[in-house]
Structure 1
Amino acid sequence: MEDVTLFHVKWRKPIDDETRQISYKTTETQTTETSKKDVECTADFQVNKEIQTDSMEDMGQGEGRKDVRISKEVLNHIYDFIRDDSKVNYDRLLEFHKFDKVSLETVQKYHVETRNENIILMISNSARKTLILFGGLSHETFCSHQARALLCSSAVSTSLPLPVCAISAVFYSSTQFLLGDISGNISMCTMDKVLFQGKVTDGAVTSLELSRHGLLSGSDDGNIILWEIENAGLEKITGVRLTVSDLSRKIRKSSTSNKPVAVVSMQISGDEVCVATETGGLYILTLPTLDSKPLSQTATSINKILFETPFIAVVYHTSNAAVFNTEGLVDEIPFVAALAVRCGPYFIFSNHTRLVIWSINTKSTVIDETLPCHSICSLSNDTLQVLDADFNLVSNFLNDKV
Structure 2
Amino acid sequence: MEDCTLHHFTWRRPVRDTSQIIYQTTETQTTETSKADVACAANFQLSKEIQTDSVENGAGEVGKTDYRISKDVLGHLYDFIRDDSKVNYDRLLEFHKFDKVVLETVQKYHVETRNENILQMLSNSSRKTLILFGGLSHETFCSHQARALLCSSSTASSIPLPVCAISAVFYSSTQFLLGDLSGNISMYNKDGKIFEKKVTDGAVTCLEMCRHGLISGSDDGNIILWKVEEKGVEKIGGVRLTVSDLSRKIRRSSTSNKPIAVVSMQSSGNELCVATETGGLYILTLPTLDSKPMTQSATSIDKILFESPYMAVVYTTSNAAVFTQEGLVDEIPFVAKLAVKCGPYFVFSNHHRLVIWSMNTRSIVIDENIACHSICSLSNDTLQVLDADFNLVSNFLNDQL
TM-score tier after normalising by the smaller chain length: 0.7 to 0.9
SS at match of 2:354: strand
In structure 2, the partner of 1:347 is: 346
1:1-400 matches, cutoff 5 A: 10=11, 78=82, 93-400=92-399
SS at match of 2:333: coil
Q: Distance in 2 between matches of 1:100 and 1:277?
A: 34
Change (3 A) 1:168 1:10: farther
Change (3 A) 1:249 1:58: closer
1:67 shift after superposition: 12
SS at match of 1:330: strand
CA contact (8 A) 2:108 2:393 kept: yes
Structure 1 length as normaliser, TM-score? 0.81
SS at match of 2:287: coil
Change (3 A) 1:257 1:371: same
Measured on the aligned residues, the alpha-carbon RMSD in Å equals 3.0
1:214 shift after superposition: 0.6
Change (3 A) 1:179 1:110: same
CA contact (8 A) 1:23 1:68 kept: no
Q: Distance in 1 between matches of 2:219 and 2:317?
A: 20
CA contact (8 A) 2:14 2:74 kept: no
In structure 1, the partner of 2:63 is: none
- Write out per-residue CA displacement over residues 170-214 of structure 1, whole angstroms, 9 at most, x where no aligned residue: 000010000000110000000021000000001100000001111
CA contact (8 A) 1:13 1:79 kept: no
CA contact (8 A) 1:170 1:208 kept: yes
Q: Distance in 2 between matches of 1:351 and 1:214?
A: 32
Q: Distance in 2 between matches of 1:198 and 1:290?
A: 22
Q: Distance in 1 between matches of 2:69 and 2:269?
A: 61
CA contact (8 A) 1:23 1:69 kept: no
Change (3 A) 1:328 1:13: farther
- Aligned partner of 2:173: which letter? S
SS at match of 1:399: strand
Identity percentage of aligned residues: 74
- Aligned partner of 1:154: which letter? S
SS at match of 2:82: helix
- Write out per-residue CA displacement over residues 257-314 of structure 1, whole angstroms, 9 at most, x where no aligned residue: 0000000000010011100000000000011110111110000000000000000000
SS at match of 1:313: strand
- Write out per-residue CA displacement over residues 39-64 of structure 1, whole angstroms, 9 at most, x where no aligned residue: xxxxxxxxxxxxxxxx99999xxxxx
CA contact (8 A) 1:24 1:67 kept: no
- Aligned partner of 2:190: which letter? M
Change (3 A) 1:145 1:66: closer
- Aligned partner of 2:156: which letter? S
Q: Distance in 1 between matches of 2:196 and 2:74?
A: 82
SS at match of 1:245: helix
- Aligned partner of 1:236: which letter? K
- Aligned partner of 2:100: which letter? K
- Aligned partner of 2:82: which letter? I
In structure 2, the partner of 1:51 is: none
1:78 shift after superposition: 2.6
Structure 1 stretches of 5 or more lacking a match? 1-5, 15-21, 28-54, 60-64
Structure 2 stretches of 5 or more lacking a match? 1-6, 22-66
After the TM superposition, list the runs of 4 or more consecutive aligned residues in structure 1 that deviate by more than 4 angstroms.
6-14, 22-27, 55-59, 65-70, 74-77, 79-82, 89-93
1:24 shift after superposition: 9.0
